[in-house]
Structures are given as structure tokens and as C-alpha cells.
Amino acid sequence: MIVTGLALGAVLGWVMQRGRFCVTGMIRDIFLNKTWRGFTALLIVIAVHAVGLAALTTAGVITPEYKQFAPLAVVLGGLLFGMGIVLAGGCASGTWYRSAEGLIGSWLALVFYAGSAAAMKGGSLNALNEGLRSWELPITTIHGSLGLSVWWLVIPFTLGVAFLTRHFLAQEAKAPKMATLKPKKTGLAHLLAEKPWHFYPTAAIIGALGVLAWPLSAATGRNDGLGITSPSSNLSKFLVSGEDTVDWGVMLVLGLLVGAFFAAKASGEFRLRVPSAEQAVRSVIGGVLMGVGASAAGGCTVGNGMVQTSLFSYQGWVALLFIAIGIGVAAKLWLKPTDAVPGQASNPTPNQPSQSQSSPRTAQSAQSTQSAAEQKAMAAELGFQTTGTLLLDRKATAAESAESSGIGGDSDLGRDSDLELVGDRTYKLDTLGAVCPFPLVDAKAAMADLSVGDSLQIDFDCTQATDAIPRWAATDGHEVTNFEQTTDAGWTITVKKGS
């Protein structure tokens, strides 16, 4: 029965939301934070998958089918998908569960991801897809080429992942303890619906769910396991044309959305958040690249990065490699501090007018702030609980604050800054509305301009930053003096710069 897809998807959505599980961030951290800690979580998923699927195959419970390796499609598709998920702010499964958290930017990415995937799979872009996949090599799996049992790959791979996991857990035990939010719930409710889950247990659970998914799916006639791209495409086709394509996979992604929504509501992490115009455009472009890339490559970070890799297919591992390269290229091109952080915007010169004087820039800033406030008020009238500040508002407020507080060319910060002075040696960085990893990227850039003993108050509404920012603070030797949730899906953290 396809209803098992809905049930398993709901559990998967809950687990992914509570574990902030997104492959984009795991690979992105290799380039931005120079750590393989997150990527090891993906390897845990693959290892659990590999052991389970090898056992089920050996026992004759499932019979996986392998596609011949299409190098051009897999390489180009992987690159496009990797770049797309950085623009969209999340991988395929991440986009689904972040949509359930109320991120309207993720809704946009999801619609264009599903639509472009449908266009590639039998729609207007089908010729492109077939053309890319027309060149195939007569190889499917690594162990098949070597003439070995898959267990010769599964066992050493799993042992290697176990060693890496132990290594990073030992590092974590020795590292300074990171700040956490004060619990509001107790017992099982705290563990299931409030406390963020650790990457590694989350990964093990996702791997186990992936193993269970295959026989459940096969029982309905769908010979596959976890997957996001084809089910998203099929759902899009069904909604647009009414084609009878609601299968186990479609129920899986719908269940993922439902499970993640209830997890977000239970943890106070759901709120409708309207993206800036810039992020909305990025989400649309990212969604298109995701759909085109995943269709060409034969899968996304789930279908290729978790399932095909665990089957040790050439497609899976080559696709994962080029998805990572695409993420690295995109991170280099686009993941830079926004204009609202130090050194990124034009500031007053040392000869700026005094606070009692009026300048065209001050008037323009006030007009911009008023315009942004009017936009938020209009959105509120329509029933939306929007982000605290839009990008326009952030720039205007920061510029006005710089003039009024004297932060500028001759300030103690040492170079240009758009931070708002809110207390004794305490500066405010407003990243509300920014998708991850921008709150962390901006915080790092801002902290670089502060002196030892200065404090940075960071306001954010990106769920993943509740782990990323305090972890960065602990790793870099800064002191967290305040960390609290201010509203549904809204947090503030104050970090005092260490030596």
C-alpha cells in the first residue's frame, strides 16, 4: 500500500527537521569552515544504507536495477545541481522540510525544482535530457566491474566511516562546550520536539529508514528506495495534468512535508518568512538548476548521494563528487558577506556631517527604512508573519546607525562598518530574513572588525544557525553571553570576542 510511503515520509521529515539534516550544508562546510564533520554524517547514511541494502539483496528481498553510466549527463547534471542547491539554500530533501518550516523562498525553489524536473522527464526539456544521457558506458557498479561481491566494498567502507565518526566525536568531546538554548520542556518532549538532534544519530536513523523504504516501496511495484526528484516530478505532473502518477514515492515526499511541519510547530520553529527580492530570484534560479541537474544526473543528494552511492554505482559516486564541486564553485561565487556587514558598504568619511546636520544620505536612508516598514505592514495585513527586516531595511538601518553613532572611517573598529551600536561595546548585526549560511558568514565578517572584548548581537531566523553560530563561537574562542529564542523561528545570540 502506498500509504506506507506517507507514514515513512512523515517520520523522515520529523527526523530531518529535528536534525537540521541538509547535505548542502555538510558539503558546504568543507569549503567554508574547513571541516569534514558534517560530511561524515552523510557517509554514515551511506554506510548504514550499504549494509542494509547489501543484506536485503543477498537475502533476495530486493533486486536493485542499475542504469548504465552516462558520464556527460552525470557530470554536468551534478555540477548544475550542486550550484543550484547553494542558490536555493538547501538540497532536495532540505528544500522540502524547510518549506514545512515556513520559508517561502523554499516554496519557490520547490515549485521550480519540481516543474523543471517534470520538464526534463517527458516534458519540454525531455530532448535535452535524452541527449545528455545518450552517451553511455557499459558499466554500472564498481564491484560489478571488479567481479567481486558487494560485501568486499561494504565492509571496509563501513569500518572507515566508523573510524571517521569516532575521530570527530573525540574531537567534539575535547572542544569547548558550545552554548545551547535554555530548555522549556522536559523529558521525552524535550528530546523529541525541542533539543536539536546530533548529526550522527540523525544520520544513522535516516540510513535505517532508507533501508526500510526499499522493501516497502517494492511491495507496491516501485523497485526503488528513498528518492526526491522523480516523486517531485510526478507530483508536479499530477497537479498540472492529472496524470495518474501518485505512487509510493509521491506519498513519501508528501509525508516528508507533513512530518517536518509538525516537528517545526512542536519545536516553535515554524513561521512564514518572506525572502528578500534577491533571495527570491536566487531560489527560482536554484530550483530550476536543481530540477535540470538532478534529472540529468539520475538523482539528487538522496537518490544519488545516499542510495546509488550505497549500491556502489558509478553514477552515485561520480554524481556526488561533481555535486560537491558544484557546491564549492557556488560557495566561491555567491557565499560572501552581504552589504550590511563591515567592509561591504560605502560609509561616511571622517569629514561626515555632525549628527545635528541633515545629509541626503540620511534622508534617503530614512525613506528606505520607511519603505521597508510599509512593505512589512502590508504583508502583516495579509496575514503573513514576515521576517523582521528585509535586505533593504537592513542596509538602510545600518547606514543610518553608522552616521548617528559615528561608526566609520575614524572609529575604533579600524575600518568601515555598518554595525549598529546598541550598548557599551556591543554592536548589533541583523540577519533576519537571511538564509543559511549567511547569518554565520556575516557574523564572521563582522567579528573580524571588532576588538577583543567587543560584543556582537546577532539576530537571526535561520533554524540551522541555532547550531552553526554557537558552534563557531566555541570553536573560535568567543564567549556567548546571551542566547535565547525571541519568537517562533526567531533567535538572538550575543557573542563576546575572545583573544
The residues annotated with a catalytic role in the active site are 436
Nearest to 72 by CA among 27, 136, 25, 120: 136
Residue 332 CB partners (closer than 8 Å, separation 6+): 31
Burial label for 248, CB within 10 Å (0-12, 13-18, 19+), is buried
Distance, CA of 199 to CA of 219 (rounded, Å): 31
Distance, CA of 168 to CA of 148 (rounded, Å): 31
Distance, CA of 338 to CA of 140 (rounded, Å): 44
Q: Which is it for strands 490-496 and 455-460: parallel, antiparallel or unpaired?
A: antiparallel
Ordered strands of the 455-460 beta sheet:
420-423, 426-430, 455-460, 490-496, 479-487
Distance, CA of 457 to CA of 491 (rounded, Å): 10
Distance, CA of 144 to CA of 167 (rounded, Å): 32
* Per-residue CA distances from 163 to 10, 72, 73 (Å): 31, 34, 34
Taking the C-alpha atoms of 83, 88, 93 and 96 in order, what is their torsion angle to the nearest 10 degrees? -160
Copy the grid coordinates of residue 390. 528585509
74 conformational bin, left if phi > 0, alpha if psi -120 to 50, beta if neither: alpha
> Mapping DSSP to helix (H, G, I), strand (E, B) and coil, where does residue 428 land?
strand
Nearest to 32 by CA among 266, 307, 327: 327
Q: Which residue has the cell 560489478?
A: 144
Distance, CA of 72 to CA of 189 (rounded, Å): 49
Residue 479 CB partners (closer than 8 Å, separation 6+): 473, 495, 496, 498
